[in-house]
Structure 1
Amino acid sequence: MLEKLKDPGEKTLAFLLLAPAFLLLALIVVYPIGRLIWNSFFDLRLSGGAAKFVGIENYTIALQDPDFWNAAWNTLLITVITVPGALVVGLGLAMLANLPFRRRWPVRLALLLPWALPLAFVGLIFAWFFHTEFGVVNDVLRRLGASEPTMWLLSPKLAFAAICLAIIWKTSSFMALILLAGLQMIPKSLYEAAEVDGASKWNQFWHITVPMLMPSIIVALIFRTITALQTFDIPQTMTHGGPGNSTQTLAMLIHATTIDYLDVGYGSTLAVLMFLISMVVTGFYLKRIGRSA
């Protein structure tokens, strides 16, 4: 009996070693998500009054709310535009930084700068770029002969395009850093053998670089897609969701509902729906793209 107590089995030992990690995970992940789901079933307002259980009424209201569908559409559209855009730009930057320069550190430092800048600061920079009267973009267009300044952030389509451009500029460096690490893991002997066989640079790219880089591409796409679905800072600082609500995202709608209107119950419902959308998209990546890789 004493020997069993002194020498626990492998399963018991594994449980004891993993227990602190499971407790920490439950504390910082499981409990907040559980609390969020619990609040979504209540009419809970910080402006006053006791919490009232309403069941799935908040979800019914959300699915009939045009503001929710508008924000969801904007969020998905930003994801569809900026994720592939950041991947293409990031791949080009990664391949540029991977070239055999004698001094490559300036190029690699340039990759770090956009990633290191705060999101809100990037939004302010691009809001100034596209300012109607004092913006750099309109100043360049004026020098090229444009007669009237373009109201970039006052037009729904132009404002949306400006936001997507800012997001691609900001996030392409993150993609480039991940892809650069993948490029450095590809053996140079593969390219040397391809050159001996007479393969062109284009064929080497499609038949060596892309297949060998696919695991890094999948990781970059998963992380970037999740953050794209949570887009908040850049459109908030550039347009505040305007004109009207044409550039409002789900995260912005959740912020307005909980912070501005103090409706924690409905805001929690919107957050749960955004969480479900994120899980569906992530599951698609893991099942489809990950399996093919």
Structure 2
Amino acid sequence: MYENKKYLAIAWILVLPALLIRVFTTIYPIIETFRISLYDVKLLRGINEFIGFQNYLNIFQDSKMITSIKFTVIFVVGSMIGHLVLGIALALILNMKFAGQKVLRTIVLLPWAMPMVVVAMASKWAFNNEYGLVNDFIRWFNPSFKLDWLIHATTASNAVIAVDLWKDLPFFAILILAGLQFISSDMYEAAKIDGAGAIRSFFTITLPLISKNILVLSIFFTMWRITSFDVVYAMTSGGPGESTALIAYRITTEAFTNLNTGYASSIAVVLFLIMALLSALSMRAAKRVDY
């Protein structure tokens, strides 16, 4: 018993430095962010006044923040619908047996391997009306087509969602493909003998067997979408106006542009609580997955 306690004490001593570093770099910033959110901190004006939960109430009275919340919801829902529909379709294509299958899988992953900032900056030029790749392609079918994608709120929002989808769709599809690899071909053969076609086999065999994978992936990808920042920062800078300013981008502008750190901290705390809830849901869903 003494020896066990001795080894346990040694283990704690060895682990303690890592734990202290973790506390300092993770727990302390969270606590400090919550503390600052209770103050009216405006660095430019030299204001540092305790105001309680007023910053949290201001979130729902700020028209710019309301716009950011609305676009974040549209961005997350639109992007995830695209990931689910197109990701599953792409995974099914990649799961087929054909010549050059491995080469195609490698090519498909290239967009995901590129940094989002690089993709967003390139997309900013691609959606240009005069010399953009997107309009050039459309003009093959409609020579008189003209549209400045990034100066109109609706088209700019659609462009941001499209770029995000193009960037991460391959990774989502590859993860779905991994689930498809575990489905035995004997099940499809038995369904074919029973007279089931490709569509019926998909809805009765494929989809039920990968539904748990889709659920877990959807939760994690939703969390990543909510905290997206770089695509808006590099592509539209939240414009036109504030129509494409995601919540994470709003936190950055409030903290580092407006130097309104108290208000920015309150937004960050709300976002943290949302992410904590989604993390709990993802862990609960992961436990239900049969590996």
TM-score of Structure 1 vs Structure 2, range by shorter chain: 0.7 to 0.9
Question: Could you tell me which residue of structure 2 aligns to residue 189 of structure 1?
Answer: 186
Give the letter for the 1:244 counterpart: G
Partner of 2:88: 91
Q: Does 1:238 align with 2:235?
A: yes
TM-superposed deviation, 1:12: 9.3
The equivalent of 2:134 in structure 1 is: 137
What is the TM-score of this pair, normalised by structure 1? 0.87
Paired residues of 1:111 and 1:176 also in contact (CA < 8 A): no
Q: Which deviates more from structure 2 when the two are superposed, residues 129-138 or residues 96-105? A: 96-105
Deviations 1:256-290 (A, max 9, x none): 11111222211111111222233445556677998
In the other structure, the counterpart of 1:150 is: 147
Alignment check: 8 A CA contact 1:156 1:247 kept: yes
Q: Answer yes or no: is the 8 Å Cα contact 2:212–2:289 preserved in 1.
A: no
> Does structure 1 residue 251 correspond to structure 2 residue 233?
no
Q: Distance in 2 between matches of 1:5 and 1:289?
A: 39
The answer to whether the 8 Å contact 1:138/1:149 transfers is yes
Which secondary structure state, in structure 2, belongs to the residue aligned with residue 252 of structure 1?
helix
- 1:48-127 mapped onto 2 (5 Å cutoff): 49=46, 51-127=48-124
Change (3 A) 1:287 1:64: farther
Structure 1 distance, partners of 2:195, 2:20, is 57
The TM-score with structure 2 as length reference comes to 0.87
> Corresponding residue for 2:259?
262
SS in 2 for 1:52: strand
Q: Is the 8 A contact 1:126 1:166 kept in 2?
A: yes
Question: Which ranges in structure 1 are unaligned for 5 or more consecutive residues?
Answer: none
For structure 2, the residue ranges without an aligned partner over 5 or more in a row are none
Change (3 A) 1:280 1:69: farther
1:36-62 CA-partner distances (Å, limit 9, x unpaired): 212211233444637432211211222
- Deviations, residues 87-144 of structure 1 (Å, cap 9, x unaligned): 2111122112211234422111123211111111111222222101111222233343
Residue identity matched to 1:42: Y
Which residue of structure 2 lines up, in the alignment, with residue 177 of structure 1? Answer: 174
Distance 1:108 1:122 in 2: 20
Structure 2 Cα separation of the partners of residues 143 and 188 of structure 1: 43
Cross-structure match for 2:35: 38
Equivalent pairs, count: 290
Is 1:95–1:180's contact at 8 Å kept on the other side of the alignment? Answer: yes
What residue identity is the alignment partner of 1:41? Answer: L
Q: Distance in 2 between matches of 1:134 and 1:177?
A: 33
Percent identical residues: 34
Offset at 1:192?
2.0
User: CA–CA distance in 1 between the matches of 2:289 and 2:94?
Assistant: 28
Is the 8 Å Cα contact of residues 218 and 290 (structure 1) preserved in structure 2? no
Moved more, 88-97 or 72-81: 88-97
